[in-house]
Amino acid sequence: METKEKKRIAILGSTGSIGTQALQVIEEHSDLYEAYVLTANNRVELLAEQARRFLPEAVVIANEDKYAELRDALADLPVKVYAGADAICQIVREKPVDVVLTAMVGFAGLKPTISAVEAGKAIALANKETLVVAGDLVNRLAHKYHADIIPVDSEHSAIFQCLAGEVSPIEKIILTASGGPFRTYSMEQLATVTKAQALKHPSWSMGAKITIDSASMMNKGFEVIEAKWLFGVSPEQIQVVVHPQSVVHSAVQFADGAVKAQLGVPDMRLPIQYAFSYPLRLDSSFDRLDLCQVGSLTFEAPDLRRFRNLALAREALARGGNMPCILNAANEVVNRAFLEDRLGFLQMSDVMADTMQKAHYVAEPTYEDYLQTDAEARRIAASCLTRN
């Protein structure tokens, strides 16, 4: 029998929520996929354990202080060990990788994603911040270097799945949101919520940063921006609908009024697997959806007064240029401050709105402009924090 070439996958952020689930997918389909590169920020022990199990060609630890520890842990294995953010970029550029799964958090994802795109590698995109910050630039580069970008975010994967086989344009995207743990909270209640409450997401288990972003609906705001760049629609064509059951992962409406949705139990392994297998669907051991057990599906309009971050994201999108980059940087600062009990839940939006006012606006930013904007907005947000 002919042996098929396995797809070589680089997982950037293999020790995180998406990264570890991606490794489960690879394990379940080890005849098709190979973990070729694994990278992490700090967690040497878990990265070493993963390397022992999957025997990748190379591993990279972003934090250079941890290099020796990782090298020593893997000394008996034929796995190349590197350290530093630049090494991540170099490896995705130079190694014969078929798919780069961007599963690291935040602005740090931008440079390696651009490196992979410039090398013409297919991107399975989990790191939505990359498109929030620089969707225009990344799209232009992807076009120039013929790099496919396949969404992993569950909503965007759902939309992507709805578009399979369609040749007609999208009339409207219906982007669903669970509403998070505070969906029904009043302003008074929101004023005093704690990080422990925010970290308890009702339907998804995710990394800390995105869990806070989900509670504050910043995540959904970012997903509106992400959808614009992935699917080439205008912001007016994207409707956010709160759907607490998280069963309808999103939907697309076409010119004839038909609406197609993708449904399923909340499990990120499905969109991860689809990003690897597209256009094919593979078997899976994941739980199946039982609609009778779900019983009812409900939908409501989001409340932009209580969840102001949705409005901030729309504003950033409307102003364009580097404004979404400013918003993202400010959000990274306030998200961390909230996680460290240095800022209240509602003040997060105040600081972001302030930062959007104060940071320099650039209408057509270059990559260098994005770096500068990110640094400037972080400084401004940090100085707003001390006054809050």
**Which spans of this chain sit near ligand NAD (rule: CB under 6 A)?**
13-19, 40-43, 62, 103-105, 108, 126-129, 153, 204, 206-207, 209-210, 268
With CB under 5 to 8 Å by kind, the binding choice for 331 among ligand NAD, Mg ion, none is none
CB of residue 222 vs ligand NAD: minimum separation in angstroms? Answer: 8
| Residue with the two structure tokens 């076409």 | 254
- Residues 374, 353: Cα–Cα separation, whole Å: 15
- Residue 153 or residue 354: which is nearer to Mg ion going by CB? 153
- Residues 271, 22: Cα–Cα separation, whole Å: 10
- Residues 202, 113: Cα–Cα separation, whole Å: 31
CB of residue 306 vs ligand NAD: minimum separation in angstroms? Answer: 22
- Residues 318, 232: Cα–Cα separation, whole Å: 15
Quote the DSSP letter at residue 297: -
CB of residue 61 vs Mg ion: minimum separation in angstroms? Answer: 27
With CB under 5 to 8 Å by kind, the binding choice for 104 among ligand NAD, Mg ion, none is ligand NAD
- Residues 115, 170: Cα–Cα separation, whole Å: 30
- Residues 249, 272: Cα–Cα separation, whole Å: 14
Integer Rg of the chain from CA: 20
In sign, the C-alpha dihedral spanning 204, 208, 211, 215 is positive
CB of residue 364 vs ligand NAD: minimum separation in angstroms? Answer: 25
CB of residue 85 vs ligand NAD: minimum separation in angstroms? Answer: 6
- Residue 67 or residue 204: which is nearer to ligand NAD going by CB? 204
Q: Which of 198, 208, 203 is nearest to 266 (CA)?
A: 203
Pairing of strands 33-40, 58-61: parallel
- Residues 185, 113: Cα–Cα separation, whole Å: 37
With CB under 5 to 8 Å by kind, the binding choice for 108 among Mg ion, ligand NAD, none is ligand NAD
Token pair for 147? 């790099």
CB of residue 14 vs Mg ion: minimum separation in angstroms? Answer: 20
- Residue 15 or residue 246: which is nearer to ligand NAD going by CB? 15
- Residue 312 or residue 354: which is nearer to ligand NAD going by CB? 312
The site for Mg ion (CB under 5 A) is made up of 153-155
With CB under 5 to 8 Å by kind, the binding choice for 127 among ligand NAD, Mg ion, none is ligand NAD
- Residue 247 or residue 384: which is nearer to Mg ion going by CB? 247
With CB under 5 to 8 Å by kind, the binding choice for 322 among Mg ion, ligand NAD, none is none
- Residue 42 or residue 189: which is nearer to ligand NAD going by CB? 42
